[in-house]
Structure 1
């Protein structure tokens, strides 16, 4: 059921010019990764339509990029991703602004990392606790679900596009049906001091893995970016203090990984972690170890694929459990099925 391309070899070059003439919609595009995507893809000839709650920043960025690139197909639209109607209006306006009347790629990039009050109930002597702020979940989880729902409505309607295929030619195939999710390293590892952020980004990973199995049904290719702590405004001072002594990643590496996904229509069902650029060498056991820069056999690496063969290697428990469940079903046979049906009917009629 999983239709995906082979693991990504990031040493194989791609051409950023393959984004030319595509219409790309980006949520949360006024700063950070989003702004990097806007600049780079506009420079390479794409129609870029981005939304953000920060109207001043968004409008300023659109004007600046149009002037820098000479590309007048860069548009900003105010959008609050946690508001359903705001996103609906954003997509509808994007279709109107698209030169071909469709959308080739949707990038669910908007995300926040608000101060988390989930584990801070406040005054313990109070009669009852105040409700926690769930703004992070509203934006990072509900907002992404809204974006995905709208993407699956508009992407298949993209004029001149076809269902995604491993055999597509990115040089010739200018129309696309692509959804790019932006998760985080928090999609893969626990971030104890950011409970809701970690939970929401785990949800994005789960969404990616679920939708990857639906590629054949909807013809929409889906990919995932999982950036480490990057040098962007979303990383607050307290987090910077906690990871001091390490290294922040660079926005340009996230833009590079995102551009590979958007430009190359042959890549589907893949994910990339983007970390700080480091000098590494593969040991005899296959593990990557950090070495001095310039060491023999070393490479500079910022991109890693966390789900290269996850269906075969990272899910042994799932496979074992499913195999056991199937064995139970086979052992019970049709009589077991009939028993469960009768019990279900009785339950529905209140006769349990």
Structure 2
């Protein structure tokens, strides 16, 4: 068998409903988020707050969960004042606490104008507070030769991984529970650290790699719940999660612009045809002209240099191993059988109803 024939036989893109590659230069209509109820974890600041402002300005109803009560309440008051809508809400939520997230989702469904949740953004995240350069942190263990040494501090994993897993699990339930006629979207927040090593940030890099694994795996089956899943992976950006030392370390290369991250996320949120895609958002760069025969230097760019947004991990399901192919075929068969079972059940109910009417 020719290689191309083998690869084509193991292409399951259609099976998982994955959409075509994203054309980031094509226009999209951000007003498509109007009327949607959007839950954003960690939405009181950073990317979450920027998402909330953008989507609320286009008519979305935003519900924010965060531990920053002052910031969250202030943001909701701002959104209500700027949009004239009272359908924006804040609820205290510690993403590490399962019951806290359960309460957030139940409140969101109750407060929703439509009675359901249309989109969820698993945005909450923190960085390692003790990087390797300090001589402390996860990769610099010490004092473990005592009788009962303490375990390492894994709060970053609790927030960035366990919290995201809680959010995703709840999202798959509440989004599927919503009206099937409405768009149902789960947006994961990754990072450049989702696919590149980030020295000195072991826990952060591990957690973001895991979120990428969650995305790559889950996009093969979320279609069963009628949920489309996408992901954004920003480079270092000017938010509170990036320390001042991070700014100095990337000096000469520049930071990703928060508006570019918001634009990429809004495209995924508003364009209902995009399914199973991940976008990377980098700094705006331009290539300086070097001397003849030399590679030009990379320098910070401007708005005229375009938006540095591109796809990553786009081709996972174009050629899969036999397990995934067989498993997805089984899922399709089960969904097909469930559909026919529902049809026969409906026919039986109609027959019984007619029989009762003529009795």
Question: Into which bin does the TM-score normalised by the smaller protein fall?
Answer: 0.7 to 0.9
Give the Cα separation in 2 of the matches to 1:122 and 1:55. 36
1:4-15 to 2 correspondences below 5 Å: 4-15=18-29
Q: Deviations over 1:148-181 (max 9, x none)?
A: 110111101113x24xxxxxxxxxxxx2111000
Give the Cα separation in 1 of the matches to 2:77 and 2:91. 12
* Secondary structure at the counterpart of residue 301 of structure 1: coil
Change (3 A) 1:73 1:131: same
* Runs of at least 5 residues in structure 1 that lack an aligned partner in the other structure: 163-174, 282-288, 327-352
1:36 Cα deviation from its structure 2 partner: 0.4
CA RMSD of aligned residues (A): 2.5
Give the Cα separation in 2 of the matches to 1:78 and 1:21. 23
Change (3 A) 1:189 1:292: closer
Change (3 A) 1:249 1:299: closer
1:125 Cα deviation from its structure 2 partner: 6.0
State TM-score, norm by structure 2: 0.77
User: Equivalent of 1:154, from 174, 183, 186?
Assistant: 174
In the alignment, is the contact (CA less than 8 A) between 1:280 and 1:301 conserved in 2?
Answer: no
User: Equivalent of 1:255, from 253, 262, 279?
Assistant: 262
Would you say how many aligned residue pairs link Structure 1 and Structure 2?
Answer: 296
Q: Deviations over 1:108-158 (max 9, x none)?
A: 000000324212323366455431110000000000000011011110111
1:302 Cα deviation from its structure 2 partner: 1.7
* Runs of at least 5 residues in structure 2 that lack an aligned partner in the other structure: 1-14, 131-136, 289-296, 327-359
In the alignment, is the contact (CA less than 8 A) between 1:15 and 1:263 conserved in 2?
Answer: yes
- Correspondence for 1:286: none
Whether 1:245 aligns to 2:222 is: no
In the alignment, is the contact (CA less than 8 A) between 1:7 and 1:309 conserved in 2?
Answer: no
- Correspondence for 2:71: 57
User: Equivalent of 1:215, from 209, 222, 238?
Assistant: 222
- Correspondence for 1:75: 89
Whether 1:45 aligns to 2:52 is: no
Whether 1:300 aligns to 2:306 is: yes
1:44 Cα deviation from its structure 2 partner: 0.5
- Correspondence for 1:182: 189
Q: Deviations over 1:188-209 (max 9, x none)?
A: 1011210010000001100001
